[in-house]
Structure 1
């Protein structure tokens, strides 16, 4: 489903038809027209006797929706929890729940990159944000409920497992295979999967990402695929809701384009989708961005679909997006480096099917360096990004020079917070050890008394 125009109505229709339980988990739930529309729908169902659970992320939602918004939901009978609010004992609160999941009655589910805010619908003349979501039915919904239960338990008491149906008892809704990937801090699940697809793609790998700051190894994997003849394309925002990130993303274009990867910038207001499609048979849609924060530190959720018809629809949507995008084309120096790399590739001993892949690579290269109506020079883009980064660094240097306390104070606060948190954690661990020892002693004491011979009685 494309954008809020298709996703939101489907979410609301499912919520309004709910009979027993609704699970609603999102990084951003705003107290605006869109947020209140969803709040009213959830309240109506809660008052009708449906069990409604809402989980929102503290960092994403708290400043967009004040306590009055959440209290209204609670008064209506909705169970509301906040994920990972700041605590003195947890300095690692920067780890966020970035998931966007809705399940209804254990039978219908939705996974997307969309949050709940007016930004996705467009207000005051602004264009709606570009995003992608999925509607799912069948046993896969049980996996979505299990993922929600895990997040819910991290914010309070766990859900009784007896509430969930056995996935084997849920009837299949179709023939499309789908897998849920639950990203968690330190697990790198989606990262490993993205690396695997980049390494095994044979024909094409088309990526859309909102905040692309990939690791060196992933960029190398994409470059190797491109040099092997895979048509690798990357679609990113032309203007970001995080302006400070834009010059950093653009500064990385050269390594991508020199490796034969085609880079496109979306011309709309904001591109927020996180999708991938490869070889006309595999696709991924969800919340994970191609950066270290999503791969390594956040709770994320994506669905992998292996189906030719679905992949074909994803490719068609991708080509529609490219019609509203500007390609960053290489300059003469970059073209020469591309040609040199292709020649070096040809000199290598070809593997099985190497001639076909080299021919495909030559075609992809010719397409990437060909003239385009919607094109912008890499050199010009790179120059403006480098100038912006340089200006920001000079500004930071001036601020540090004139107001050093602005740098020292947060550092002192952070170190103090970390130190206190570690001390409190150490005390709690020691307390647990003491409690455990006492329990062991109490268990052993009755046994000793039983084995001890009785004292003689005086007659």
Structure 2
């Protein structure tokens, strides 16, 4: 985790219409290096546009590393990947796993970050994947989401982070049993691993670009297990006027709920924007189980009903804000690898606040006690079980399968006709469009 760093500039990018053209233009203008991480990359019109931008940059000699999640991006074809690797792009798959009767088995502890770093001078952090369902013309299922473009010294820390992640993932793969077997069975694979040195090109640290102070916050399963949640709790605890949280998958732990209720009871205007038109029905069902508990304390709840909400953003008072990949649910808070930027800047806070206010006024339904249809007896029983579940699930998460995250090269660039390993094949076959 970076320290608080001043001298940064943040630009809010809403939905794919703002985000994709800006990212692709910056990749096309890259001079030395592009590092990209994403949970989902589909071979649709958005994936193809990214593919074209990367190929164009690679042919100019730009060093490019892409990391996709083995669970979230299982449908990339041999042709899609081989075109990149033949151009010199290094494509890494995070924890590809085997299938059992056609089902993906690597559900837990996914790489859910969405980060791009260009030449160590410009970065993008947010919640958008590379898929056409982030564009309005996708239809009623198009997602509502946010990201930020970043310039300034904080980019140096983000740049260092993505390179540490690349190096650590490669080390873990080489130290694993599968890695040792690959070394013994294929000298080509061993040569590839050695040739893919991951040192960044030499370049100057990012220069000051604005007035914003920021911190880059990540969540992992070792040293930073609750950093993002902790920053949320701190912001809610010190808020004096207003808190707005827009989060797609909302089922937070007991401590975060407790801080929201306490803030509302001391007079803070606490508002939640949650899914009203969910991409997965159980998401709304889980969140609605908390509505009585929150409404009783004075928390205001808005459901965004125009299309599925996929954002993970928040503002507090007139200065604090956060944008990133972390939902407020058990997967993001206790299992997945996530990344947010936390920003202290009045100008950015005003921009994001205005966008969220517009969302509440024009696309949301406010939920009141009369909208909740259930008996008081059932509510008491349910509240008892919810209390103990939310209180304990961060500890229970530790019982789920743990592993050292590893990166696997998606395809050997020296031989585009070579057969890839079973694990790699599982990582590039058959998509599940319901993946969050």
TM-score strictly above 0.5:
yes
Q: Where does residue 70 of structure 1 map in the other structure?
A: 81
Q: Distance in 2 between matches of 1:277 and 1:223?
A: 17
Alpha-carbon spacing, 1:291–1:38, altered in 2? closer, same or farther (3 Å): same
Q: Distance in 1 between matches of 2:282 and 2:197?
A: 40
Alpha-carbon spacing, 1:104–1:162, altered in 2? closer, same or farther (3 Å): closer
Counterpart among 20, 31, 52 of residue 40 in structure 1 = 52
- Aligned residues of 2:315 and 2:352 also touching (Cα < 8 A): yes
Counterpart among 306, 311, 314 of residue 268 in structure 1 = 306
How do 1:402-421 residues align onto structure 2 when only pairs under 5 Å count?
none
Q: Distance in 1 between matches of 2:39 and 2:82?
A: 18
| Structure 2 unmatched runs, 5+ | 1-12, 100-104, 172-195, 383-398, 404-436
Q: Distance in 2 between matches of 1:72 and 1:280?
A: 47
- TM-score calculated relative to the size of structure 1: 0.69
Counterpart among 231, 237, 258 of residue 199 in structure 1 = 237
Select the structure of larger CA radius of gyration.
Answer: 1
Does residue 31 (structure 1) correspond to residue 43 (structure 2)? The answer is: yes
Q: Is the partner of 2:212 in helix, strand or coil?
A: coil
Runs of 4 or more consecutive aligned structure 1 residues displaced over 6 Å after TM superposition: none
| Structure 1 unmatched runs, 5+ | 332-376, 390-414, 422-459
Q: Distance in 2 between matches of 1:210 and 1:159?
A: 37
How do 1:17-416 residues align onto structure 2 when only pairs under 5 Å count?
17-63=29-75, 65-86=76-97, 94-123=108-137, 125-126=139-140, 128-156=142-170, 160-161=198-199, 163=201, 165=203, 167=205, 170-186=206-222, 187-323=225-361, 324-331=363-370, 377-379=371-373
Alpha-carbon spacing, 1:77–1:161, altered in 2? closer, same or farther (3 Å): closer
Q: Distance in 2 between matches of 1:379 and 1:287?
A: 33
Q: Distance in 2 between matches of 1:295 and 1:125?
A: 30
Relative to total residues, which structure has the larger helix share, 1 or 2?
1
Alpha-carbon spacing, 1:279–1:124, altered in 2? closer, same or farther (3 Å): closer
Q: Where does residue 7 of structure 1 map in the other structure?
A: 19
Q: Is the partner of 2:309 in helix, strand or coil?
A: coil
- Aligned residues of 1:149 and 1:159 also touching (Cα < 8 A): no
| Residue 87 of structure 1, CA deviation | 6.9
| Residue 102 of structure 1, CA deviation | 0.7
| Residue 93 of structure 1, CA deviation | 6.2
Where relative contact order (Cα < 8 A, 6+ residues apart) is larger, the structure is 2
Q: Please, what is the CA RMSD of the aligned residues? A: 2.6
- TM-score calculated relative to the size of structure 2: 0.73
| Count of equivalent residues | 339
Relative to total residues, which structure has the larger strand share, 1 or 2?
2
